[in-house]
Amino acid sequence: MSNVVELRCANGTTLMTTKETLARVPYSKLSTDDTATSTSDAKIIAIMLDALRRSDQRLVVPDDFDDWGRLANEAPPLGLFQIAEYASPCTICVACHVALSAGRLNPEVTFRKLSRIVVTGKVSVCRAVFGTSLNEARDGGGTDFEQDRYTSRFFLKHSNLERAFDTLAACGFRLRHCNTFAPSFLKQHSGSDSQFLHHSQYVFLREPQVKKH
């Protein structure tokens, strides 16, 4: 029996691939539906097939490729969620309340008091980045099948800001914006930690993940 599979795309274009390639994602429509690509651009499908040949499913695209939105939109209906994630830019916002507390023995030495690190972003991406460090107790839910759900109610189980930054950097995120401001509603009390309370936000962005030649 032939190992070659033909995929018919829009405008009568036909792409050739193998059953082994499609078996990388056995439950995708590429494997189960012969007409799944009939209205798809052959160039987009070719990029997906090339990604499936790689163990990490990373994307390799021409230097002048700029149709990321179309690639990201066409992948999920075909069941290629990993490719859709790689093709989409991802944003995660990390926020925290911080107070500066004077040392007991030396009042000129200050220590940072951070109670909670809040994480905002796409649920599936936040889980992939922070793993077991992510506390979802305050998130109202939805189901794990909601691939595109966003939340602003995750927080981390630890209170180490630098650890969170290292985790994001290791996953390909880069800091794009940050701001800090003091809550205006607090009544200032000399000597109180609340006098030095401020709120900080850090916005991290991960561009579409492309494998370099």
Whether this prediction's pTM lies above 0.85 is answered by no
Same domain, 37 and 107: no
Per-residue pLDDT of 100-128, as tens digits, reads 765 555 555 566 678 789 999 998 889 98
Of 34, 62, 87, the domain-final residue: 87
Mean predicted confidence (pLDDT) in 10-24: 91
- For the chain, helix (H) and strand (E) counts, in that order, are 7, 8
Looking at 87, 108, 123, which one is the last position of a domain? 87
- Report the pLDDT averaged over residues 184-192: 55
pLDDT at 8: 92
Residues 6+ apart with CB under 8 A from 189: 195
**Residue 16 sits in the same domain as residue 36:** yes
pLDDT in tens, 56-76: 888 888 888 889 989 999 999
* Cα gap 179→198, rounded to integer Å: 10
- Mean pLDDT, the chain, integer: 84
* Whether residues 46 and 119 fall in one domain: no
| 96, 68: one domain | no
Residue 72 within any structural domain of the chain: yes
Tell me the three state secondary structure of residue 79.
Answer: coil
At residue 210, the pLDDT reads 77
Say if residue 143 is in the same domain as residue 98.
Answer: yes
* Model pLDDT for residues 165-181, shown as the tens digit of each residue: 999 999 889 999 999 88
CA dist., res. 125 & res. 87, Å (int): 13
